[in-house]
Amino acid sequence: MTVAVPPIEIEDLHKSFGVLEVLRGVDLSVTTGEVICIIGPSGSGKSTLLRCVNLLEVPSAGRVLIEGYDITDPETDVDEVRAKIGMVFQQFNLFPHLTVLKNLTIAQRKVLGRSSDEAISVAEAMLSRVGLADKRDEYPIRLSGGQQQRVAIARSLCMNPDMMLFDEPTSALDPELIGEVLDVMRALADEGMTMLVVTHEMGFAKQVADRVLFIDEGVIQEQGPPREVLENPKSERTRRFLRAVEH
Amino acid sequence: MRRAEIRRRVIYVATGILLVVLAFTVDWQQVQQSFFQPDIIKAMFPDVVLIGAKNTIIYTTLAFSFGLVLALILALMKRSTIRPYRWFATGYIELFRGLPALITIILVAFGLPLALGIRIPGGTLGKGTLGLGLVAGAYMAETIRAGVEAVPRGQMEAARSLGMPKGTAMTYIILPQAFRIIIPPLTNELVLLIKDTSLLFVIGTTPLSKELTKFARDFMTSTQNATPLTVVAFMYLLITLPLTFLVQRLERKAGKGR
């Protein structure tokens, strides 16, 4: 990309559900190719932050800029912006009534207007990338959790996203299936994809992240390179959380 | 022996005795005379099929198609973010579920022309299917809405995240899954509708537009015998049973993705 504008820029983001204020003023600027891991206790607002970036949740206040476009502006074409942002969910959310191949081609055809042939060839390329080329004609139910999540990543990649959001991508997986999903994500990071990852995998954060954010009570409590935040946390809150996660 | 076992045996024996008593007391000659007269059965064919069954199937198909489209629109309106849409859908559904189907049919056939000067074209076919469809639409709207709500929320979120507009996501992701879920209750609606076509007699049908029940009633009047009832009862089963079988197969096929 030639643009110098940050892919994601968040300014004083607030989000409330009724009287519950989940996000209380988050500022964040993500640079191209940066991998950011977001950690924090459950209910701290990390998933909500991620979901505000592609407007699955509408912010109560503040601005979210995607490649310079304010997506909270009612004039913005949300669908166009969303197509640039890949999203991977904890529960995979594959379309159960469609085969793996159709899962990967449907949005290409209906959103990007690609021809059937083109969509299929892109889909096949992405399936090989996540190591599942032989599963193209299966229904999602026939796949393991790890395979389903890899298909979900491939489905996002088919849209040529400029950035990817991962919302606890391995939290619903059996322990032995986590590795295969993290491998795919690591490869993506190595290729320079801009990534926001909400995760509990501290090992992954340590190895892959350029920056780690610790969120608690709706604000970023601490951020910095993984080494600093994870091994030498400044705040007592972060220290307590990391201790709790380790055991 | 356990008490449940004893109770079951008592029921078997009692039922057996009842059947034997029935078999000896009932005048089988009389039953055959009233319900199974071969001459009358013969006289009913082929018209019971070519007119009665044919019309029943046509009325059902049209009313169901119209009702399904109407129901889909109502279900989406009921889930709309636009409040007046929701009000309209709720009002419509409550009204037409509350009224007896017979009243709705009479209203469409006679009320509308009287009150508003609107003539529904197509005779029995037009008025009948419109009336039945209006009622079926109200019932099926709730079924479809329940189906849409049974699809996990993450499906819509995943579709929207891929950049699909709401309508596209509804059409290609949510509704196909919703319809798989509601095949059994929709079949139920269809079977009910088949039987409800018998209400169309109130419109006053011409010899060629009679459905099964009207056909049987007219035959009963002219023959002073109940055999026509038996015949159309079988005709109804002949329509509904294969349908149930077909839907079961469809359901199994659709279940593959789940």
pLDDT in tens, B7-26: 999 999 999 999 999 888 88
Q: Which candidate from B158, B159, B257 shows the least CB-CB separation from A97?
A: B257
Instruction: Please state the rounded mean pLDDT for residues B158-168.
Output: 94
Q: What is the pLDDT, as a whole number, of residue A2?
A: 53
Does the pLDDT at position B258 exceed 60?
A: no
Nearest CA-CA partner of A198 in A6, A96, A52, A5: A52
Closest-approach residue (CA) in chain A for B166: A79
Task: Read off the pLDDT of each residue in A9-31 and give the average, rounded to a whole number.
Answer: 93
Q: How far is A98 from chain B (nearest CA, A)?
A: 7
Which among A91, A106, A139 has the least Cβ separation from residue B257? A139
E strand or H helix at B212: helix B212-223
Q: How many CA atoms lie within 13 A of B20 on its CB side?
A: 6
> Of A86, A97, A110, which has the smallest distance from its Cβ to B176's Cβ?
A97
Q: Could you tell me which chain B residue has the CA closest to the CA of A82?
A: B163
pLDDT value for A185? 95
pLDDT at A110: 94
CB contact under 8 A, B165 and A79: yes
- Name which residue leads in pLDDT, B151 or B1: B151
Say if CB A184 and CB A150 are below 8 A apart.
Answer: yes
> How far does B157 lie from chain A, in Å, by closest CA?
7
Is A3 a residue whose pLDDT tops 70?
Answer: no
Percent of chain B surpassing pLDDT 70 = 98
Residue A32 has pLDDT above 70, yes or no: yes
pLDDT at residue B215, rounded to an integer: 85
- What pLDDT score does A192 carry? 93
Find, in chain B, the residue whose alpha carbon is nearest to that of A50: B161
CB contacts under 8 A, A 73-112 vs B, are 79-80, 82-83, 85-87, 89, 91, 93-98, 106-107, 110-112
Nearest CA among A26, A68, A32 for reference residue A48: A26
pLDDT number for residue A220: 93
User: Per-residue pLDDT tens for B16-57?
Assistant: 999 999 888 888 888 888 888 888 888 888 888 888 888 899
Confidence category of residue A66, pLDDT binned at 50, 70, 90: very high
Q: How many Å lie between the alpha carbon of B159 and the closest alpha carbon of chain A?
A: 8
- Asked whether the predicted pLDDT for residue A56 surpasses 70, the reply is yes
Q: Using CA of residue A227, residue A231, residue A232, residue A234, what is the dihedral sign?
A: positive
What is the maximum span of chain A, computed from C-alpha positions, in angstroms? 56
For the segment A215-232, what is each residue's pLDDT rounded down to a tens digit? 999 999 999 999 999 988
Q: How far apart are CA A166 and CA A168, in angstroms?
A: 6
- Res. B122: pLDDT tops 90: no
User: What DSSP assignment string belongs to chain A?
Assistant: ----S-SEEEEEEEEEETTEEEEEEEEEEE-TT-EEEEE--TTSSHHHHHHHHTTSS--SEEEEEETTEETTSTTS-HHHHHHHEEEE-TT----TTS-HHHHHHHHHHHTS---HHHHHHHHHHHHHHTT-GGGTTS-GGGS-HHHHHHHHHHHHHTT--SEEEEESTTTTS-HHHHHHHHHHHHHHHHTT-EEEEE-S-HHHHHHH-SEEEEEETTEEEEEE-HIIIIIS-SSHHHHHHHHHHH-
Query: What number is the average pLDDT over the span B237-241?
Result: 90
Mean per-residue pLDDT for B187-213? 86
- pLDDT, greater one: B251 or B168: B168
- pLDDT for B224: 86
Burial B153-180 (b: 16+ CB within 10 A, else e): eebbbbbbbbbbbeebbbebbbbbbbbb
Residue B256 pLDDT: 59
pTM for this model (two decimals): 0.85
Residue B181 C-alpha, separation from nearest chain A C-alpha, in angstroms: 11
Q: Residue A1: is its pLDDT beyond 70?
A: no
Residue-wise pLDDT for A137-165, tens only, equals 999 999 999 999 999 999 999 999 999 99
B165 vs A contacts (CB less than 8 Å): 79
pLDDT at residue B121 greater than cutoff 80: no
Tell me the average pLDDT across A181-207: 94
Confidence label for B78 from pLDDT (cuts 50, 70 and 90):
very high
